[in-house]
Amino acid sequence: MIHSLFLINASGDIFLEKHWKSVVSRSVCDYFFEAQERATEPENVPPVIPTPHHYLISVLRHHIYFVAVIQSEVPPLFVIEFLHRVVDTFQDYFGVCTEAAIKDNVVVVYELLEEMLDNGFPLATESNILKELIKPPTILRTMVNTITGSTNVGEQLPTGQLSVVPWRRTGVKYTNNEAYFDVVEEIDAIIDKSGSTITAEIQGVIDACVKLTGMPDLTLSFMNPRLLDDVSFHPCVRFKRWEAERILSFIPPDGNFRLLSYHVSSQNLVAIPVYVKHNITFREGSSQGRFDLTLGPKQTMGKAVESVLVSSQLPRGVLNANLNPSQGTYTFDPVTKLLTWDVGKINPQKLPSLKGTMSLQAGASKPDENPTINIQFKIQQMAISGLKVNRLDMYGEKYKPFKGIKYMTKAGKFQICPYNTPFTGFSLTVLTNQIHVFR
Amino acid sequence: MSASSAFNDEKGGSSSVGEPEYGHDPASGGIFSSDYKRHDDLKEMLDSNKDSLKLEAMKRIVAMIARGKNASDLFPAVVKNVACKNIEVKKLVYVYLVRYAEEQQDLALLSISTFQRGLKDPNQLIRASALRVLSSIRVTIIVPIMMLAIKEAASDMSPYVRKTAAHAIPKLYSLDPEQKDQLIEVIEKLLADKTTLVAGSVVMAFEEVCPERIDLIHKNYRKLCNLLIDVEEWGQVVIINMLTRYARTQFLNPNINESLLEEGGSGDKTFYGSDEDEDEDEEEKEKKAEAAAMAKRKPYVMDPDHRLLLRNTKPLLQSRNAAVVMAVAQLYFHLAPKAEVGVIAKALVRLLRSHSEVQYVVLQNVATMSIKRRGMFEPYLKSFYIRSTDPTQIKVLKLEVLTNLANETNISTILREFQTYIKSMDKDFVAATIQAIGRCATNISEVRDTCLNGLVQLLSNRDELVVAESVVVIKKLLQMQPEKHSDIIKHMAKLTDNIQVPMARASILWLIGEYCEHVPKIAPDVLRKMAKSFTNEEDIVKLQIINLAAKLYLTNSKQTKLLTQYVLNLAKYDQNYDIRDRARFIRQLIVPTEKSGALSKYAKKLFLALKPAPVLESPFKDRDHFQLGSLSHLLNAKAGGYQELPDWPEAAPDPSVRNVEVKESVPEWTKCSSREKRKEKKVEKPFYTDSEGESGPTESADSGNFRLLALIAWSFFFFDSISSAHNRGVCLGVFLQTIAPSSALKSYELLHRITGEGLSVEYCFSRQPFSPDANMVAVQMQFTNSASSDTKNLHIEDVKLQSGMRVKEFPEIELLPAGETATAVMGIDFCDSTQAANFQLCTHTRKFFVSIQPPVGELMRPVFLTENEFKKEQGQLMGMNEITEKLTLDVKCRNEHAIVQRVTTAANLSRVPCGSDKECRFAGRTVTSGSLVLVTVATKEEGAAQLTVNCEKMVIGTMLVKDILQALTQ
């Protein structure tokens, strides 16, 4: 299956290679570099590149390309999913997955890769098993290791691989038994200029941090499980139970894991928590453009909208922007033409606004597109879909754990498009008008 | 060779003694001499006695390998440390060894003995890791050793070692393909394995070594389907893909009776149906459809095995692993009846929220599916709307899907979306959008005019690329009905003054030439302008100018004769061959001379023939002849090792090949009358009466049995080097004897016929490995329905257990007809205690409280120990852990055979070979904690005997003594 793996940084250096079968020369990456050159943006490199003798399947995460070399037919998603799992594991071990972190921990990385694949076929990808095999480096352990010469490799052999719950390590012990669940929802939306919703969807995840002694068996039930339209589970969740009773019943892995991701059915109306009024105009012949943008809360159920960040890719003709924010700070990068405004918290009494002028290239014609506005925000203590956890019970162990549930709503791909969409069909007049408006 | 070169290196290093040796940063690149120096100090560190120095050196070496630096000259120094005690050093040495063994074959052989030793370690994980490294060393000389190791490991008691054996098969195959036949035997054996751990890996090996041997799957098909949900996710992908292929060869096309014409029609409407009740609905529907079809054609009845596959894969659509979801989706697409395929749409749409690489692959597949089954994705139209933040390749694919989904009802919404896309800053994407509009226009005649007009408006766009793309698309559209659109042609003629993109200019010229009769006044003028600029044009434009000239000459020679001559003269001296050739050819054809042949008479027909309108179709059309989700499908080219997805067979092959004798049913066994018959079955059964013998059932013929026996005997031999022919005989004796009692397993009553209102249930401890969980005791239940009505939905509910205990329920028995008997196996982890497991046994009408309490002898499983091992272990379990009891043997029980039989009936233990005939020894391990249980029965004169039980768990020990005592004295 997977023959070799190359890690390539943003400047095109291969800084790590690992082979599971016979060695493949790193010159195979030249085909990758060729494709990279052809693609204008880093994310436009095709994930699958055929070469005369091999196929290259790559993923881009944290500005690092993970390029897997394969030689024969294999489902591409198999490789892609595995590579993402590798990145997740690195992140789990080192906190961040950067070139520096990988280089600093090259031995641990190598040991991990060795355990994760055998002859190119995945062997152990569960983080709980891997952590039994290879302990993640911590500052304390690194210090102890350098003094005592002890190792990061687990002394005892992992038994997790043999058990019926391979995701949970055995012999877990804690003095404080805690189980925390974060319900995080993201709104993906496209909203037109007048504020009407073109598409909106909610997708959520339940991330858990479970530190419980022994082999606890948990059940988690919802007040309104019917909201969940489509779900995907961590392998620990018992599917039958969910099918029959809409209850999540599982023996959790130890530590952090994603229990569930779900999609709220699109039939339900999605509450849009913010609105944007914006007016971005350019006039023909003038080297100035006007920029005017105001944000306000809407349908937030009384919760504050926080960490608001507005970003927009201004047209290429814009040289600079001279704007005046009523709160927060803004930056404009004249090279990438990216305008970002870090708003912070929205105060409903005093709505944040960003106004001012943009200077255009002299003599250049008026830009013919208006920019799309992307918004990020966070709302604490609320799940926008209204999903509520009913109760969490534990069986199989005697102690009383501390349980906590947190809700949060975030913007996913939340964008405001610069046009009003016509409500009647695609008509010649509409198109004509718009073209003429911009002439 | 390599040794001497290493020696040279050392020499080179010694010349520079006195330099600082430690503290070199391995990351700093250096010239060769400094490389030698560094390697020299690494060698010194590897030779030192301190593990910490060795570790440091190995870490630096691994860092070098990771950066792709050559570290092969260190091979002799590294390989010495293969037996190092420090586990991390050892692991890093393995990494090094696997990387360089191929280059240094001779030296690599030095390490082999270490692994061979590891293969015999009592710890299963060490055995597995030794096999893993051994099989990764790509040195052809050790092929026979590998082969032996794999065969042995395939019969190992530990499923983890068997899994490793399955992993090793493709490694050996790639090293030496000539071993194929032998490897297939191992695969066949492992395929029969019942544990989830092995299933994924062995199917992987099957796919790599012998994907054409579909016949090996028959007997294991149902088992694979049933195990699937518990297999690890990577294995699931491989199994599902393989089963898709299998099903295509064994079952009939479920859509055979549906007319192929009604694509995307009413047949797809059910996809929305809630998932839960679908199965039943489907079955009903099928019955109805069946009845209807009966009248007109050969009725289609889905094979129950086909249904089993569909039913067991469906829950996996909920997997978190995108590859698993995709695998199930393709299975449904290729195998399910049309009405059921819809369920996959939702799951695929969910994957669109994943990483962009995942999106890319999923969209490719959705694009192919949406051509065949448009209705399936229509409700998710909005999920394919494009966001400005999507990478271009994703945008283009989404556009493709949107175009495929367009129909009369949704076209207005789609066009509205397209309209916003045209304003994007991403020009490649805009071009793709314009093409998509063109395709919508050709497919849906209602909107053709609207689209055309919209595109014409785009001709006045300021971006030249947009204009050019529009021109090309308009050209194609106009070809469909030119007469109606002469004003558009005129408009385009005007564009020639401004537009510079060659493709667009060429398209306009072609249009004018083709339809010059619709624009009789403008056409000659365009030619005049073009003649002026001819020399500066691109080649494709020049060719079209020549074409235009020729066509005008034929239709309107009065006005254009001179112009045409001029153009042809210019072309005659062009630098490009093609243009010169074309000019010569056309001149001969259209300008009549005395030499010109008969062809020139037909010149007009040649040039102005009615040309068929181009068909704008999706590049994804017909891609579904590749198995979806495969690499070949993605590339639209056959990748190496791709297995063709076969067509449905005309007539279904014999379904009985998948029938398996009910192996777990003990009653079946007892029915076996003849001794020979029983013996044969024995081999099929997973006997783990000994430890190293192993094994899943083999279905092979007699020779296979022999081989197996030989293998076991051999492995006994192997494990105890002092053993002789006599010993081997004992082994075989044990092997045959210890199985015998299991044919007389004691059964207990769970539910009496009267309390159960006609339903009676008996259970016995089948002493089989419980495949879903090795820590559970398998309990085999036999349900007999002696009532007059059917019993439905037999299942377990409300399990009440002591803490730590676990139960794996048996799959629900949907229907037990009156008078019939069914068996099921459930697993219970008793946590090494004799406490009862209480639960309710439910039928569709009643619930019965029942409980299962295990005799202590069933809480263990046999292990094989040699005499020496037994003595050693016994020596460690003295004092408190040893219980001794004196007894007088029952009169009937004074020979060795009887003792063995009674003890093994009372407790699930295996016999340990013993030199003295006065002693019988037995060994086992408790199922949950794996603590050793050793039993010795020493006989003396006149039926006096002494029973000794050694067990870490004193409670178990005491109870066991009691039970065995009872068995031997009565």
Q: What is the pLDDT of residues B382-417, one digit of tens each?
A: 889 888 888 989 999 999 999 999 888 888 888 888
Strand order in the sheet with A373-380: A228-233, A255-264, A197-211, A178-191, A402-416, A373-380, A305-313, A338-344, A329-333
Tens of pLDDT along B892-917? 777 878 888 888 888 888 888 777 77
Q: Mean pLDDT lowest for which of A308-317, B16-25, B457-466? A: B16-25
Q: Does B671 score more than 60 pLDDT?
A: no
Amino acid at B19: E
| Residue with more model confidence, B694 or B68 | B68
Per-residue pLDDT, averaged over B509-515, amounts to 85
Q: Name the band, by pLDDT with cuts 50, 70 and 90, for residue A386.
A: confident
Using CA atoms, how far apart are residues B322 and A81, in angstroms rounded to an integer?
7
| Residue A215 Cα, gap to closest chain B Cα (Å) | 8
Report CB contact under 8 Å: B315, A26: no
Q: Do A16 and B66 touch (CB under 8 A)?
A: yes
Selecting from B233, B389, B461 the residue whose C-beta is nearest the C-beta of A374 gives B389
Q: Which residues contact B550 (CB under 8 A, 6 or more apart)?
A: B513, B564, B586, B589, B590, B607
Determine contact, residues A203/A412, Cβ cutoff 8 Å. Answer: yes
Selected residue with higher pLDDT from B458 and B349: B349
Asked if pLDDT for residue A55 goes beyond 90, the answer is yes
Residue of B nearest to A40 (CA): B392
Radius of gyration of chain B (CA): 39
The mean pLDDT value for A192-197 works out to 80
B773 close to A (CB below 8 A): yes
* Mean pLDDT, residues B123-148 taken together: 87
Q: How far is CA A9 from each of CA A17, A60, A62, A65, B246, rounded to the nearest angstrom? A: 12, 10, 9, 6, 42
Which chain B residues contact residue A88 at CB under 8 A?
none
Q: How far is A433 from chain B (nearest CA, A)?
A: 10
Q: Name the strand (E) or helix (H) holding A385.
A: none
Instruction: Looking at the complex, report in whole angstroms how far the Cα of residue B597 sits from the nearest Cα belonging to chain A.
Output: 50
Secondary structure letter of residue A217 according to DSSP = E
Q: Which two three-digit tokens encode residue B860?
A: 């263990």
Nearest-Cα distance to chain A for B620, in Å, is 17
**Nearest to residue B97, comparing CAs of B113, B119, B112?**
B112
Best of B135, B357, B377, B451 to mutate (most A CBs within 10 Å, chain A): B357
Q: Give all strands (DSSP E) within A174-246, no chain letters.
A: 178-191, 197-211, 217-222, 228-233
B666, pLDDT greater than 60:
no
How high does pLDDT run on average in chain B? Answer: 78
Beta-sheet pairing, A197-211 with B813-816: unpaired
Q: Report chain B residues whose CB lies below 8 A from the CB of A266.
A: 382
**Per-residue pLDDT at B663 exceeds 60:** no
- Nearest-by-Cβ selection for A80 from B136, B357, B461: B357
CB contact under 8 A, B425 and A235: no
- Taking the Cβ of residue B420 and every Cβ of chain A, the question of whether any pair is shorter than 8 Å is answered with yes
Residue of B nearest to A65 (CA): B357
Chain A residues in contact with B393 (beta carbon < 8 A): 44, 46
Pair type for strands B932-939 and B919-926: antiparallel
- ipTM for the predicted complex comes to 0.86
Picking from A3, A53, A78, A97 by the largest number of B CB atoms within 10 A of its own CB, the best residue to mutate is A78
B438 touches chain A (CB under 8 A): no
Residue B456's nearest CA partner among B487, B423, B429 is B487
Q: Which residues of A touch B59 (CB under 8 A)?
A: 107
Contacts of B423 in chain A (CB under 8 A): 368-370, 419
The whole-number pLDDT of residue B473 equals 86
**Cβ distance of A153 and B87 shorter than 8 Å:** yes
Task: Tell me the sheet residues that pair with B824.
Answer: B781
Average pLDDT of the residues in B721-742 = 37
Which band of pLDDT confidence, cut at 50, 70 and 90, is reported for residue B55?
A: confident
Check if the beta carbon of residue B758 is closer than 8 Å to that of residue B786.
Answer: yes
A364 touches chain B (CB under 8 A): no
Strand, helix or coil at B554?
helix
In the A/B pair of chains, how many CB contacts fall below 8 A?
A: 274
pLDDT at B94: 87
Q: Residue B266 — pLDDT band, cuts 50, 70, 90? A: very low
B634 touches chain A (CB under 8 A): yes
pLDDT at B594: 67
Give all strands (DSSP E) within A298-433, no chain letters.
305-313, 318-325, 329-333, 338-344, 353-360, 373-380, 389-395, 402-416
Give the residue on B whose Cα is nearest the Cα of A215. B804
Band of residue B427 on the pLDDT scale cut at 50, 70, 90: confident
Please answer yes or no on whether A261 and B234 come within 8 Å at the CB atom.
Answer: no
Residue B181, chain A, CB below 8 Å: the answer is: no
Tokens linked to A431:
């198109």
> Which of A14, A74, A151 is facing B55, going by the closest CB pair?
A151
Q: Is the distance from CB of A66 to CB of A7 less than 8 angstroms?
A: yes
Does residue B896 sit at the A interface (CB-CB below 8 Å)? no
Kindly give the pairing relationship between strand B910-912 and strand B919-926: antiparallel
B944 has a pLDDT exceeding 60: yes
Q: Percentage of residues in chain B with pLDDT exceeding 90?
A: 13
pLDDT of B740 > 50? The answer is no
Report pLDDT for A148. Answer: 60
What would the two tokens of residue B23 be?
């503290």
Reduced 3-state DSSP string for B281-321: HHHHHHHHHHHHHHHHCCCCCCCHHHHHHHHHHHHHHHECC
Residues of B within 8 A of A50 (CB-CB) are: 635, 637, 639
C-beta of residue B384 within 8 angstroms of C-beta of residue B398: yes
> For residue B198, how many C-alpha atoms fall within 13 Å in the half-sphere facing its CB?
33
Select from A182, A98, A197, A184 the least CA-distant residue to A410.
Answer: A184
Neighbours of B33 (CB within 10 A): 12
What is the predicted pLDDT for the residue at B744? 55
Name the DSSP letter for residue B617. -
Is B361's CB within 8 Å of A44's CB? Answer: no
B428 neighbors B417 (Cβ within 8 angstroms): no
Six token digits for residue B959: 């109870």
Of B204, B352, B362, B631, which to mutate for an interface test with A (greatest number of A Cβ within 10 Å)?
Answer: B631
Averaged pLDDT, B503-527: 85
Whether A75 and B238 have beta carbons less than 8 Å apart is answered as no
Confidence at residue A426, expressed as pLDDT on a 0 to 100 scale: 39
Name residue, tokens 């034929």: B554
Unique residue bearing structure tokens 């709307």: B385
pLDDT at residue B680 greater than cutoff 70? no
Using the beta-carbon criterion (under 8 Å), do B167 and A431 form an inter-chain contact?
no
A-chain CB neighbours of B234 within 8 Å are 78, 82, 121-122, 125
User: ∠ at Cα B758 (B753, B764), nearest 5°?
Assistant: 45
Please check whether residue B805 is in contact with residue B828, taking contact to mean a CB–CB distance below 8 angstroms: yes
Interface of A with B in 199-258 (CB under 8 A): 199, 201, 203, 215, 229-235, 239, 243, 258
Mean pLDDT of B77-98: 84
* pLDDT recorded at residue B332: 93
Q: Which amino acid type is present at position B682? A: K
pLDDT at B549 over 70: yes
Residue B655 φ then ψ, to 5°: -75, -15
Please name the member of A60, A74, A106 whose beta carbon is closest to the beta carbon of B63: A106
pLDDT for B288 equals 53
pLDDT tens string B837-889: 888 888 888 888 888 888 888 888 888 788 888 888 888 887 778 888 888 88
**Interchain CB distance below 8 Å, A413 and B387:** yes
- C-alpha Rg value of chain A to the nearest Å: 26
Closest CA to B6 of B78, B94, B114, B89: B78
Query: What per-residue confidence (pLDDT) applies to B493?
Result: 83
Task: Judge whether residue B664 has pLDDT over 70.
Answer: no
Q: Which of residues 282-311 of A touch B (CB under 8 A)?
A: none
In contact, A219 and A236? CB cutoff 8 Å? no
pLDDT class for A10, splitting at 50, 70, 90?
confident
Asked if B773 lies within 8 A of A263 by C-beta distance, the reply is no
SS3 B703: helix
- Cα B489 → chain centroid: 55
Task: Find the range with the poorest average confidence among A104-118, A162-176, A252-266, B267-281.
Answer: B267-281
Please answer yes or no on whether B356 and A50 come within 8 Å at the CB atom.
no
Closest-CA residue of chain B to A265: B346
Confidence of residue A149 (pLDDT cuts 50, 70, 90): low
Residue with tokens 């069909």: A425
Kindly list the residues from chain A whose CB atom is less than 8 angstroms away from the CB atom of residue B463.
Answer: 368
A385-to-A298, B279, B773 alpha-carbon distances in Å: 15, 30, 39
Question: Can you point out the beta strands (E) in B587-678?
Answer: none
What is each CA distance from A31 to A28, A307, B635, B720, in whole angstroms? 6, 42, 16, 55
* Two structure tokens written together for A311: 């970003």
Q: Tokens 């009643």 identify what position?
A: B846
A401 interfaces chain B, CB cutoff of 8 Å: no
Element housing B422 (H / E): none
Q: To 5 degrees, how large is the angle CA B743–CA B747–CA B752?
A: 150
| Cβ-Cβ contacts under 8 Å, B461 against chain A | 368, 435
SS (H, E, C) B476-543: HHHCCCHHHHHHHHHHHHHHCCCCCCHHHHHHHHHHHHHCCCCCCCHHHHHHHHHHHHHHHCCHHHHH
Model confidence over A76-131: pLDDT tens digits?
999 999 999 999 999 988 888 899 999 888 888 988 998 899 888 988 888 877 88
Mean predicted confidence (pLDDT) in B181-209? 90
Residues of A in contact with B91 (CB under 8 A): 111, 114, 153
pLDDT digits (tens, 9 = 90+) for A283-329: 776 778 888 888 888 877 778 888 999 998 888 778 888 888 898 89
Nearest residue in chain A measured CA to CA from B416: A426
In this structure, what token pair is assigned to residue B452?
């055309």
* Residue B581 contacts A where some CB pair is shorter than 8 Å: no
Tokens of A119: 């002859």
Residue B383 in tokens = 């999920």
pLDDT, tens digit, 9 for 90 and up, residues B320-361: 899 999 999 999 999 999 888 888 998 998 898 889 999 999
Q: Does A427 touch chain B (CB under 8 A)?
A: yes
Give the DSSP H/E element, type plus range, for residue B139. Answer: none
The β-bridge partners of B896 are none
B819 close contact with A: CB closer than 8 A: no
B533 part of contact set with chain A, CB < 8 Å: no
* CA proximity to A47, closest of A60, A58, A33, A35: A58
Pull the structure tokens for residue A411. 């913007």
Return the percentage of chain B with pLDDT > 70, whole number: 82
